[in-house]
Amino acid sequence: MIHVKELHMSLPSGGRNVSILSGVTFTVPEKQRLAIVGRSGSGKSTLLGLLAGLDSPSSGEVHMNGVCVTELDEKRLAQFRRRNIGYVFQSYHLISTLTAKENIAVPLDLQHDQRADTRALELLDAVGLADRAKHYPAQLSGGEQQRVAVARAFANRPPILLADEPTGNLDAASSSQIIDLLLRLNDEYDSTLVFVTHDPSLSRCADRVVTLSDGHIVGDELQ
């Protein structure tokens, strides 16, 4: 499902290149729940962004569903993401001028799905926000915004879901709701789930935990 081979990432800083990831290699089988953990600055979010094709590595390869994502041009990469990847951001990344329903419908509209509005309403109901369809992000709590973001990530029924600190900006009660929601929808859609987290209650729900330190994998355990 996902194969990462010798992934390196470095960025210029102060006149020199700083290594963010160094030779990261791992495989994620279909339908596995994988947690990526480690201290701040260990390279977790950078790795997840590379998996999603949001950035390009300095060297190495990322394969998803038999496609070498790192070799795609921007147009083909955007097409691949729309069909194969759902992404949940820590800071929600909802479009402020669109309602909750319209935010969820965006990836469906991009696919010219004639049932975009109906599908968006179904997902709002699935995440317990059927009565918030016409509300804008500013009118929603943090937990509600993240629920909309999760619903949007599942809109196209992607085989792969990536989540970057999905509970990072939430209080304990909202975090628990988002964890339950992610896992329930993950089971319902039979997707492969890869998430970055500092939240022990979320990492305990994973089938497998990969630990990063200074850009290297220092732990890889089934649980």
Q: What is the CATH number of the domain that holds 29?
A: 3.40.50.300
Estimate the crossing angle of helix 142-153 against helix 172-189, to 10 degrees: 10
Q: Considering only CA atoms, which of 52, 90, 108, 85 is closest in space to residue 192? A: 85
Residue 48 belongs to domain spanning = 2-222
Separation of CA 127 from chain center:
17
pLDDT of residue 197: 92
pLDDT of residue 95: 96
Q: Mapping DSSP to helix (H, G, I), strand (E, B) and coil, where does residue 112 land?
A: coil
pLDDT of residue 80: 93
State the CB neighbour count (10 A cutoff) for residue 31. 15
Sequence-distant (6+) residues with CB within 8 A of 187 are: none
Q: How far is CA 16 from CA 19, 31, 91, in A?
A: 10, 40, 30
- Tens digit of each residue's pLDDT, the chain (223 residues): 899 999 999 988 777 888 999 999 999 999 999 999 999 889 999 999 999 999 999 999 999 989 999 999 999 999 999 899 999 988 899 999 999 999 999 999 988 889 999 999 999 999 999 999 999 999 999 999 999 999 999 999 999 999 999 988 888 888 888 989 989 888 988 999 999 998 888 899 999 999 999 999 999 999 8
d(CA 167, CA 189): 21
Number of domains making up the chain: 1
Q: How far apart are the first and last CA of the chain?
A: 20
pTM here is: 0.92
d(CA 19, CA 30): 30
Estimate the crossing angle of helix 100-110 against helix 142-153, to 10 degrees: 20
